[in-house]
Amino acid sequence: MSLLTSEEGKRRLLTVELPAIERYNEGRDESFRIVLAKQRDGSLALRYRLKPAHNVYELETILPATYPSTPPETRVVSKLKPCPHLLSQQRLCLWKQGSTRAASRWDASKFTSVFAVQAAWRWLACYEVWYSSGTWPLPEAI
């Protein structure tokens, strides 16, 4: 199913994803709202800023053409210090990205793209703790 080309995908985009993004953006400062952008490859990009504690980070979450059966990929655009939970191209280790559906913690029946944004906020909060203490405050993903 593709969000932009299949009927099922368009239905999910209009009835689930866009309303969730609109609720997230409601009352939020303009500079911290999610902005959608269509990509050349048929995916959608969510661009936004987060401030979990002291720093403001610019992020991009990609909803691939196979979303929601394939989890979104989130990367931090702002430069980060390398850490054990940061994948190549500054992608966040959130749900074993690139893994099989059976091994992934992503559940398309429960989560929306806004859940990915909230997971990125939590990851960044952990990053700031790690950056100052050297200890990642949550258990490792298995």
Identify the sign of the CA torsion 94, 96, 102, 103. Answer: negative
CATH superfamily of 7-133: Ubiquitin Conjugating Enzyme (3.10.110.10)
29-64 exposure pattern, b = at least 16 Cβ within 10 A, e = fewer:
eeeebbeeeeeeeebbebebbbebeeeebebbbbbb
Q: Given this model, what pLDDT does residue 107 score?
A: 80
The 8-class DSSP code of residue 60 comes to: E
Total-model pTM: 0.86
- Of 4, 20, 124, whose CA–CA distance to 63 is shortest? 4
Question: Which tens digits make up the pLDDT trace of 48-62?
Answer: 999 999 899 999 999
pLDDT-based confidence at 142, cuts 50/70/90?
very low
- Of 1, 4, 90, 67, whose CA–CA distance to 40 is shortest? 4
